[in-house]
Amino acid sequence: MKLALFDMDGTLIDSQGHIVQSLSAAFAAIDRPAPSRAEILSQVGRSLPLFMRALAPGLEPEEEEQALNAYKASYKAMRERGVPPLFEGIADVLEAIHAQDDWLWGIATGASCRGLNAIAEGHALRLATRQCADDHPSKPDPSMVYAALQETGVSAVDAVVIGDTVFDMEMAAAAGVTALGVSWGYHRPMDLLDAGAVVVAETPADILVELQRMWGSNG
C-alpha cells in the first residue's frame, strides 16, 4: 500500500480568508494591531498556540487564552456559514487516488480535529487517516506522520507528505518520508525546496504526475 498524506490549509482548501479574518479578530480581542497578511501566512501550518506565539511573542497567559478563544469563535462562525472551498482541481486528484487499488490518502493538519472533521464532512472526503493538532505536537514534529503510518499499515518508504509550508517539508524529513511541495499555498516554492521537497507541484494535476512517477499506476 501507498499513502499520500496531505496538509489541509493552503494545500487542499483555500482557507486564507478565514485564517486572516480570525487572526484579526484575535488581535482585536486583546487590543493589539493585527500582523500583516504576509506575516500571518508565513506562520500557517503550526498548531494554533504556536501560530499565535510566533505572531505575538511575550503575551501573558491570560492574553493568549483570550486571543485563542477569539480566533476559534471567529473561525467557527465563518465555518458554520460554509466551509472553505477545495482548490480547483483537488477533487479530481483525490478521486484519482481513490481509483488506485493500493493508494490511500489522509490529512495531517495543524488545525483542530473539529476543524478537520468539518472539512471532511463538508466536502464528503473519504480519508484513510485523520491526524490533527488535538492529538499531536505541532508540525514539524513527525508525530502525525508516525501515527498515520501506523494506522494505515504503510511503511515510510511508501509514503509521501504533500504540503504548502516548510513545516510540512520538515515534518516529512523528520519522519523519513518523501516530501512533495505545492506552489499555490502560503510559502514560497524555493523555501519548500530548501526545506526538503523533492519537487514543487505547480498545479494539482502535477501531484498525480509525481505520485505516478514514484509509485506507478494500476488503474
Q: Do domains 2-14+86-215 and 16-80 have the same CATH topology?
A: no
β-bridge partners, 104: 3
Contact 128, 108 (CB under 8 A): no
pLDDT value for 82:
87
- The answer to whether the pTM exceeds 0.85 is yes
**Could you name the CATH architecture of 2-14+86-215?**
3-Layer(aba) Sandwich (3.40)
* Class (C level, CATH) for 16-80: mainly alpha
Cell digits of residue 180: 512533495
Domain boundaries, the chain: 2-14+86-215, 16-80
Give the span between the Cα atoms of 197 and 182, in whole angstroms.
9
What pLDDT, in 10s, does the model give residues 76-121? 898 888 889 999 999 999 999 999 999 999 999 999 999 999 999 9
pLDDT number for residue 96: 96
Q: What pLDDT, on the 0 to 100 scale, is given for residue 218?
A: 57
Closest alpha carbon to 46 in 152, 181, 173, 187: 187
The C-alpha atoms of residue 88 and residue 13 are separated, in whole angstroms, by: 9
